[in-house]
């Protein structure tokens, strides 16, 4: 056989190719000074505490991917030698990925990410059988919630299980929802907003008893610990949460007994006739490397993340901060910390600390006017959900960064709580809060004007006016005088100060309102835009009309 290969010139080519791969790897291991690649992720001066949204690609993963791009770039479906050699390397990486989860190579499908994996798992399984009911929970990621809602529009039925009084889901709750029409159970393992873990292994045993396939969204579990996927029927996850590249994910489908499934993407080529498309060689190699690093480090890393969380909590507890989580009996995976901060709107807090990357919740829920549905489904109030942030630490987070971030957070929290508690009579900064955007704000220097100038640092017991909505609050304090003028009466406010809560826009609006009311009078037919001398943006018009109506009613009642 060797002589035949030599006659065709293939054996020498294989040797040459292996030498090229070795040379590519050697170039990256000569020394840090000789490498063009960074030795650690670059954070542009930002303290990154948003690992639950995405993780930086590990330099070792980048190194493996660059090597694959140089040497293993051929189409694995090509019948020529270069294609076959590339296919072998890619298949080796796929086998490594499968082995990480105690699976066989033919049990995994490479996808574009967890969202595609979840779509394929739910739609593919339901469409391959006659039963038309799915069981899931109200605290799933949007990828699951929206997929189930799409299936419902096609005539499928869904049972959404809400957390119990302990803010969790139990095996008994899932079992009680099962009917003869249940085709699939889909659950998130580690919640992406709170870090809470559902007892999916116990629930999987219940599913097996009823011969119902169970799908697990392990997107937030995979970066934190290694697990045996064979205890489930379907598993979805993404590489970018595991210090790997974006645009690649995994779907495990039980091979024996084979779980019926319809393809989601049609086209040429494909994986077990279930997913068409050209394989992304370098991403697969990078994915395999990322999982290999997790296997080596996850146990030690878990202890380190616990310490980092403890350091941060120690700094923030004096401000009344509480952890949003299920009961102490439930497990929570370290690394994802959801914190409630009394009297502080999450948007306002993030606006004041642009050099610290934190989140309000899932990166997929960007509407700042709405609270996290995960927190409200767990039984927390609308206001508490809006006053909560997610801090997620990871592999490259240092103790120094956590301590520094804790200092930034402490100062910003103290400032916002002083406004909410009426300890500051005015607040302003070097940027326009009306137009503030978390992603574009430069480092602001805020100055609080003490209430001593107005109330001798004492807020009256009873407010003149209270406007209390879940997403904003204004309480006006002071005294009033009704004055006669030529065309009627006006209301003059004296020694005005306020307690205020809300996102940056509302803080700016109420700050300007307080300052204006110290100089101007209230009339029963006032216009908020005229009073402030500015137009209100359309997205805030409804709230501004409500505020305007409250001010008019107050003026009418006081005159």
- Find out whether 244 and 294 touch, Cβ atoms under 8 Å: no
Show the tokens assigned to 19. Answer: 């030498």
Neighbour-count burial for 513-530, b at 16+ CB within 10 Å, e otherwise: bbbebbeebbbbebebee
Task: Identify the CATH number of the domain defined by range 299-421.
Answer: 3.90.1150.10
Give the three-class secondary structure for 1.
Answer: coil
In this prediction, residue 270 carries a pLDDT of 75
| Distance, CA of 247 to CA of 244 (rounded, Å) | 10
Task: Identify the CATH number of the domain defined by range 81-294.
Answer: 3.40.640.10
Per-residue model confidence as pLDDT tens for the chain (559 residues):
444 434 444 444 445 555 555 555 454 443 343 445 567 888 889 999 999 999 999 999 999 999 999 999 999 989 999 999 999 999 999 999 999 999 999 999 999 999 999 999 999 999 999 999 999 999 999 999 999 999 999 999 999 999 999 999 999 999 999 999 999 999 999 999 999 999 999 999 999 999 999 999 999 999 999 999 999 999 999 999 999 999 999 999 999 888 999 998 888 767 877 888 889 999 999 999 999 999 999 999 999 999 999 999 999 999 999 999 986 655 789 999 999 999 999 999 998 899 999 999 776 665 557 899 999 999 999 999 999 999 999 999 999 999 999 999 999 999 899 889 887 645 544 444 444 433 223 233 344 444 444 333 455 678 999 999 999 999 999 888 887 766 677 788 888 888 999 998 898 888 888 888 888 888 888 899 998 888 898 989 999 999 999 999 998 888 7
0.85 surpassed by pTM: yes
Looking at 199-251, list the stretches that DSSP marks H as alpha helix, in order from N- to C-terminal side: 200-209
Establish how many alpha carbons lie within 13 A of residue 208's alpha carbon, considering only the half-sphere containing its beta carbon. 13
| Distance, CA of 502 to CA of 424 (rounded, Å) | 15
Q: Supply the residues annotated as catalytic.
A: 364
In this prediction, residue 52 carries a pLDDT of 97
Class of domain 438-558: alpha beta
In this prediction, residue 198 carries a pLDDT of 96
Establish how many alpha carbons lie within 13 A of residue 251's alpha carbon, considering only the half-sphere containing its beta carbon. 28
Domain borders along the chain are 81-294, 299-421, 438-558
In this prediction, residue 275 carries a pLDDT of 86
* CA dihedral for 38, 400, 245, 359, sign (positive or negative): negative
| Distance, CA of 114 to CA of 108 (rounded, Å) | 13
| Distance, CA of 463 to CA of 554 (rounded, Å) | 12
| Distance, CA of 407 to CA of 420 (rounded, Å) | 20
Show the tokens assigned to 489. Answer: 């009466």
| Distance, CA of 41 to CA of 263 (rounded, Å) | 37
């Amino acid at each position: 056989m060797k002589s035949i290969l030599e006659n065709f010139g293939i054996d020498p080519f294989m040797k040459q190719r292996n030498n090229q791969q070795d040379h590519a790897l050697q170039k990256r291991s000569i020394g840090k000074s000789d490498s063009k690649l960074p030795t650690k992720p670059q954070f542009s001066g930002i303290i990154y505490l948003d690992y639950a949204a995405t993780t930086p690609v590990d330099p070792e993963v980048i190194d493996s991917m660059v090597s694959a791009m140089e040497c293993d770039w051929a189409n694995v479906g090509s019948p020529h030698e270069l294609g076959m050699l590339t296919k072998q390397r890619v298949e080796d990486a796929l086998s490594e990925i499968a082995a990480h989860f105690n699976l066989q190579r033919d049990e995994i499908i490479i996808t574009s990410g967890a969202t595609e994996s979840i779509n394929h798992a739910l739609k593919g399984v339901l469409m391959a059988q006659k039963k038309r009911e799915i069981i899931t929970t109200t605290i799933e990621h949007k990828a699951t919630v929206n997929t189930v809602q799409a299936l419902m529009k096609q005539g499928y039925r869904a049972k959404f299980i809400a957390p119990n009084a302990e803010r969790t889901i139990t095996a008994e709750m899932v079992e009680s929802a099962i009917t003869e029409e249940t085709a699939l159970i889909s659950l998130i393992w580690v919640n992406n907003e709170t870090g809470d873990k559902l007892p999916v292994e116990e629930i999987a045993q219940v599913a097996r008893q009823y011969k119902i396939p169970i799908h697990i969204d392990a997107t937030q579990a995979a970066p934190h610990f290694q697990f045996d996927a064979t205890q489930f029927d379907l598993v979805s996850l993404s590489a970018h949460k595991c210090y790997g590249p974006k645009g690649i994910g995994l779907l495990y489908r039980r091979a024996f007994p084979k779980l019926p499934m319809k393809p989601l993407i049609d086209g040429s080529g494909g994986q077990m006739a279930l997913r068409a498309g050209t394989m992304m060689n370098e991403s697969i190699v990078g994915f395999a490397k990322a999982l290999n690093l997790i296997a080596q480090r996850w146990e030690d890393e878990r202890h380190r993340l616990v310490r980092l969380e403890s350091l941060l909590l120690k700094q923030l507890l004096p401000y009344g901060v509480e952890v949003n989580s299920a009961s102490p009996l439930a497990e929570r995976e370290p690394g994802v910390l959801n914190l409630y901060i009394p009297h502080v709107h999450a948007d306002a807090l993030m606006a004041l600390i642009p050099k610290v990357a934190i989140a309000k919740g899932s990166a997929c829920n960007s509407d700042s006017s709405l609270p996290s549905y995960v927190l409200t489904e767990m039984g927390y109030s609308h206001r508490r959900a809006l006053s909560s942030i997610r801090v997620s630490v990871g592999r490259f987070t240092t103790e120094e960064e956590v301590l520094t971030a804790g200092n930034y957070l402490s100062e910003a929290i103290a400032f916002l709580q002083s406004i909410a508690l009426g300890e500051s009579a005015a607040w302003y900064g070097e940027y326009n809060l009306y137009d503030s955007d978390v992603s574009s704000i430069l480092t602001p220097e805020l100055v609080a004007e003490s209430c001593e100038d107005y109330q001798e640092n004492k807020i009256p017991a009873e407010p003149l006016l209270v406007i209390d909505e879940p997403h904003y609050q204004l309480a006006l304090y002071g005294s009033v005088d009704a004055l006669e003028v030529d065309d009627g009466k006006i209301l003059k406010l004296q020694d005005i100060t306020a307690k205020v809560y809300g996102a940056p826009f509302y803080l700016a609006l109420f700050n300007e309102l307080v300052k204006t009311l110290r100089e101007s009078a209230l009339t029963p037919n006032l216009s908020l835009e005229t009073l402030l001398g500015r137009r209100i943006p359309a997205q805030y018009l409804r709230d501004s009309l409500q505020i305007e109506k409250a001010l008019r009613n107050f003026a009418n009642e006081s005159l």
